[in-house]
Chains A and B, each alone.
Chain A
Amino acid sequence: MTQYFDPTKYEGWVCADCNVPMQLGKVDISYLGNSFPVDLLKCPNCGLVLIPEEMALGKMAEVEKALEDK
C-alpha cells in the first residue's frame, strides 16, 4: 500500500496537543495479522495519525473485505 489520498487537501491540520502541523510519514496499519506500511499524515512529535475519510471508506474497506474473504 502506498498513498491513497490527496495530502494537499489536509494541509490545514495540526496536532492540537503538540501544536505542530501534521506531516507525511510512514505508518503501519494492520488487519487480521497482515501489516502494511502506508504514507499518512502524522504528528512528528506524538505520532497521532490522520486517516482521511476517503481512505477509510475506500482502500481500507476494500482491503478489510479482501482479507476477511481470504
Chain B
Amino acid sequence: MTLAIVAGDFSGAHKVFRKSVPFPEIIARTCDQPCQAKCNRETLGGVIRVADLERASVEFSTEPPQKITILPKKKSRVAIIGGGLSGLTAAFDLARKGYQVDLFEEQNQLGGRLWDFSEEQLPREILERETKLIAQVGVKIHLNERVEPTHPIWDEADAIYLGIGKSASVYSFPQSVTPTTFQTSQPKVFAGGSLLHPYSSILSVSDGCRAAISIDRFLQKVSLTASRINEGAYETRLYTNLAGLASVETILPRQIRYTKEEVQAEAKRCIQCECMECVKSCEYLKHYGGYPKKYVREIYNNMSMLVRARTSNNFINSCALCGLCGEVCPTDLNMGQPIKETREKMVETSRMPASAHDFALRDMAFSNGEKFAMAKNAPIGGRGEAMLRPYNEFVYFPGCQLSGSSPDYTEKAYSFLRDTFYDVGLMLRCCGAPADWAGRKDLFAQSQAEFRAEHEKLGKPKVILTCSSCYQVFQQYYPDVEILSFWDVYDQHGQFPKREFFAPVAIHDPCSTRYESHIQDSVRSILTRMGGEIQELELSREKTECCSFGGAMWLANKPVAEKAVQRRINESPLDYVTYCAMCRNFFAKRGKRATHIFDYIFGGTEADLALVPAVGFSQNHENRARLKEKLLRELWSETMPEQAAFESIRLTLPDDVQKQVEDRLILVEDMQKVIEHAERTGKRMFNKSTQHYLAYFKPASVTYWVEYTSQADGSFLVHKAYSHRMEIGK
C-alpha cells in the first residue's frame, strides 16, 4: 500500500487496503494503530502514520465501490448479537460465505461504539453508508431488538456470535472464551469484540473475522484449531537489516489533513521491511527473482505435481549447496537442504535431467576406475622402514581434483606425510561428493562400499584429507572413520621457509570449510609463518562464498555460475590464496591472480605462481592417471594395467581447438574413442576438398563428433569436436 502511495497511485493503494479489511472507510478513520508499537521506524525518525496513509488512500482514491461476491446460499443459520464492529464483521464475512445471517442490535442504529467518534473524525454519512454494506450481502438486520436468554433465536440458530462487549456477561457462558477460536463453553456460541479487550476498532474487526472463520468451520464440522497459526497479531520472525538506514523525521500535515504530496512523503519513509539477507548474498537466489519462502513452496508444488514449472528442474540443479544462505539467515533456513532432498527425489522418480550432473558423475567414475583408484599401505624402504607395521596408522587421501590439478604437489604432500609419520598409506579415489550433489544415492552408496572395503583392507587407518569437500563428505557419511585435515597436520609438523610476498594476499576459504574453523586457522597460520600478510575478505570463514564448483552449479547453470565466481573475484584486487584445487582453477580460468597454498609450500620460486594457467579437464584426467602410474612404479615397483585400444590414438590439438573442447566439456579420451572407432570400422565421412574426416561415436549417453586429418606420423590433427545428447535413430 505504501509503495502505491509513494507512486501517487491512491486507487491502487485503496485496492490493497480494502482487500485486507472490511469497511475500509471506517477503519481508515478509526484505527488505533496497535501495529505502530512494532514499527522499525521508531528510532529512525518516528513510526509511520499508518492510519493517515490508509485514510489518504480512501480519500484520494477514484476507485468505484468494490463488487462484493457472495457464495451460493447455505442452509445453516447464524445469529449475530450486537451491531458493533466485531458483529458487523462476522455478519459480513459469514453472509458472503452464503450463510443465512440475522443480526440483532438493541439500539436503533448499527455501529455500536463507532458513534462515539466525532463527526469530524468519522462523518455520520460514511458510518451509515458503510455499515449498510451488510444488508447488501443479505444480512437480516433486527434493530431495537434485545436478545434475552429466552429469545427463540438461541434454539433456532445453528451458531451464534456475541459481539456485545461487557454486557455479554448477562449470559452465563462467555466467561470462558478460547482465544484462538473464540468459542465459548457452549459449543455453538462464539464471542469477541471488546468483551475480550479494551475498545479498539481494528481488534474488533480482527475478532469478528476470526470468529467467522471458526463459525464456518464449526458449521462445516471440520477442525476449529487446525492451521490457525499466525492468525491475528503475532510476533514476526522477519528480520530487517536496519544498518546504514538514515533517520527521516515524521511528515506531519501542515493543515488538518495530509495533502497528496505530504502523504506521499510520509509513505516514502516506510522501510518496506523485508529480510532478503540470503538473496543479497547469493547470485543464485537473486537470479530467480524470489526468496526462500517462495522457492520452497514452488519446489513443494513442483514435487507434488500440483504445478509443473518449466524452470524448476534447472532451478533445483543450479544451487551450489554451499550453505551461505543458512549462515546469513536470522532463522537458519538453509536452502541447500530442501534442494538436495529434492534432487534425491527427482532421481528416485526418474525426473532428474540427464545432462545436469553427467559430466561430474563421469569424472567421479574415472576417479574410481582403474586409471586412478588405488589403495596401498606405505611402500617398503625409505626413512620409515624400521617403523613399518603390518597395518599403517594413517592413509593419505589427496582427493581427485588436487591430484588432477597438481600431481607434483600431491606427490610431495605424500612424501611429507611419510617423512612425518612414517607409516602412511595412500588412497587415490573420489570421495563421492559429485554423487551426493547429484542426488544419486545409488552411486554414492556404491562409492562408499568401495571405500569401506579398501579402508578395511588397509587396517582402518586414520584418513588425512587435503580437500575440504572430501572432509565434508567424510564428516557427514563416515562418522566412524577418524579423519585429519592435512592443513592441521602441516601447521603442526611442517616447515615454513620464508617466501617472497610482494603484497598482502586475501584468503578465499572453500565453502566446504564453512564450519571448520580449525582448518581455516591452520591455513592462516601456515601462510603467516611463511611471511604472508593476510587481508581478510569481507565474506570469509563461516560467511565464505562458493566459487560455483559446489553442488555442480557450474555444470547446471553457466550464466549464474559465472556471476557467482565473478562476484567473488570482484571482492578484492589482491591475489587470492586458497586451499581447494577447484576454487583456484575457477579463479585462474577467469584471469584472477590466485594461488593454492601448496604453491608456497612446495612450489618453485622461478615463476609467478599466481599466473599459472588452470589445468584443463583432459589434462586433469591425464594427470591423475600419470600420478598413479608414477607412484606405482616408483614407490611400489608395480605397473599399470594394460591400456585400452583407444588410448594409443595420439591427438594434436591446436590452441583454438583445445579451448573449444574445454568449453564444450569434451575430453581427449572422448575424441580418442571416436577416432579409434572410425578408423577401426571405416565408419566415417570424407571431404575431398579439405581432406578432413568426420566421424561420430556414442560411448555412453553423449554422441561425440570429431573432424580430423590423419597425419603422416600416425597421429591425428583435430579440427573441431562437438557433441549432443539426442540420439540418432529412434
Residues of A with Cβ closer than 8 Å to B? 12-17, 22, 27-32, 35, 46, 48-51, 53, 56-57, 60-61, 63-65, 68-70
Contacts and interface: CB of A to CB of B under 8 A. Distances in A.
B353 A68 contact: yes
Contact of A60 (B311, B683, B724): B724
Contact of B683 (A27, A35, A48, A53): A48
A49 B726 contact: no
A69 B686 contact: no
B462 interface: no
A53 B727 contact: no
A53 B685 contact: no
B726 A63 contact: yes
15 contacts: A13-B694, A16-B685, A17-B683, A28-B729, A30-B727, A31-B727, A35-B730, A49-B728, A53-B720, A56-B722, A57-B722, A64-B355, A68-B356, A69-B313, A69-B314
A50 B729 CA distance: 12
Given A14-B686, A16-B682, A53-B720, 15 more contacts: A13-B694, A16-B686, A28-B729, A29-B726, A29-B728, A30-B726, A31-B726, A51-B705, A51-B728, A53-B722, A56-B705, A56-B723, A68-B313, A68-B354, A68-B355
Nearest to B355: A68
B705 A53 contact: yes
A61 B725 CA distance: 8
B684 interface: yes
Contacts of A53: 705, 720, 722
Interface of B: 310-314, 353-356, 681-690, 693-694, 696, 703, 705, 720, 722-730
A60 B726 contact: yes
Contacts of A56: 705, 722-724
Contacts of A15: 685-686
B682 A17 contact: yes
A53 B311 CA distance: 27
Nearest to B309: A69
Contacts of B690: 12
A64 B307 CA distance: 21
Contacts of B355: 64-65, 68
Contacts of A29: 726-729
For the complex of A and B, 10 pairs with smallest distance between CB atoms? A68-B353, A16-B686, A56-B724, A17-B682, A31-B726, A12-B687, A60-B724, A13-B685, A53-B722, A29-B726
A22 B685 contact: yes
A29 to B, nearest CB: 5
A33 to B, nearest CB: 10
A14 B687 CA distance: 6
A51 B314 CA distance: 27
A53 B664 CA distance: 12
A69 B705 contact: no
A13 B705 CA distance: 15
Contacts of A61: 724
Contacts of B356: 68
A22 B694 CA distance: 12
A12 B688 contact: yes
Contacts of A16: 682, 684-686, 693
Contacts of B703: 51
Nearest to B308: A70
Contact of A50 (B353, B694, B726): B694
Nearest to A33: B730
B726 A69 contact: no
Contacts of B681: 17
